[in-house]
Amino acid sequence: AQSVTQLDSHVSVSEGTPVLLRCNYSSSYSPSLFWYVQHPNKGLQLLLKYTSAATLVKGINGFEAEFKKSETSFHLTKPSAHMSDAAEYFCVVSVGDYKLSFGAGTTVTVRA
Amino acid sequence: EAGVAQSPRYKIIEKRQSVAFWCNPISGHATLYWYQQILGQGPKLLIQFQNNGVVDDSQLPKDRFSAERLKGVDSTLKIQPAKLEDSAVYLCASSPSTDPNYGYTFGSGTRLTVV
């Protein structure tokens, strides 16, 4: 069975500084990996996805993630945080049966 | 394109009562999902429909939860009787395909509080 572990439950950054959200996955097969964002009282929105093409994936709002098979990681980064980036972020894996398995989430707060 | 509509937005009920949630997916999306998101956790799949047929309900507590998707469009999720541990946000999502690479669209969810 596949699963993801988000290594930080909460990340706090200053506006304009880099953001790093860490995710490790466990899968016996080649996974598809996703990052979703959830703003308060809003639905989950897809940020980006990795589906066995380029290992560096660019998403919306300046986010990107790198798939590293040797480290079984799919960390999410953004060079410069904005106040609007404050939200809950979920790392998600899908293998074979197309079921999505969500991580526990990382809450991002952005300090002015 | 209209998004996935869910209602109600909030619901507070007493334990042992029943409750129903409604979802209207994006037009033309054949696949519909219900997820349960308990506070502090990631969403967990409850049931997946393909058109009006159930594809996966292995995580659905069938002794109290039921779901249907009449005519392959709208869907309702029911809990009867509710327990305190059912307090959560119930998310509906739809997709044009069972392949998640096509992307899911999530609704804003229904926040259920059982007291």
Could you read off the pLDDT of B10-24 as tens digits, one per residue? 999 999 999 999 999
Residues 9 through 38 of chain B touching chain A, CB cutoff 8 Å: none
Interface with chain A: mutation pick from B35, B41, B106, highest number of A CBs within 10 Å = B106
Residue A80 one-letter amino acid: S
- Of the candidates B42, B43, B25, the one whose C-alpha atom is nearest the C-alpha of residue B97 is B25
Query: Per CB distance under 8 Å, which residues of A are interface residues toward B?
Result: 32, 34, 41-46, 49, 51, 90, 92, 94, 98-100, 102-105
| Predicted local confidence at residue A96, as pLDDT | 63
Cα separation, B85 vs B63, in Å, equals 14
Q: Sign of the C-alpha dihedral, residues A35, A36, A39, A40? A: negative
Among the partner-chain residues B45, B100, B105, the one whose CB lies closest to the CB of A32 is B100
DSSP bridge partners of A35: A48, A91
| Predicted local confidence at residue B102, as pLDDT | 72
| Interchain CB distance below 8 Å, B98 and A42 | no
pLDDT in tens, A20-77: 999 999 887 788 899 999 998 788 999 999 987 789 999 999 999 999 999 999 999 9
> How far from chain centre, in Å, is Cα A19?
11
DSSP conformational letter for B53: E
Cα separation, A27 vs B98, in Å, equals 20
Among the partner-chain residues A42, A43, A46, the one whose CB lies closest to the CB of B103 is A46
Coil, strand or helix at B84: helix
Mean pLDDT of B44-48: 94
* C-alpha radius of gyration, chain A, whole number: 13
pLDDT tier at B1 (50, 70, 90 boundaries)? low
Cβ-Cβ contacts under 8 Å, B43 against chain A: 44, 90, 102
Within 10 Å of residue A66's Cβ, how many Cβ atoms? 15
Mean pLDDT of A3-30: 93
Which token pair is B76? 């309702």
State the smallest CA–CA distance between residue B115 and chain A in angstroms. Answer: 21
Residue B86: what are its φ and ψ, rounded to 5°?
A: -80, -5
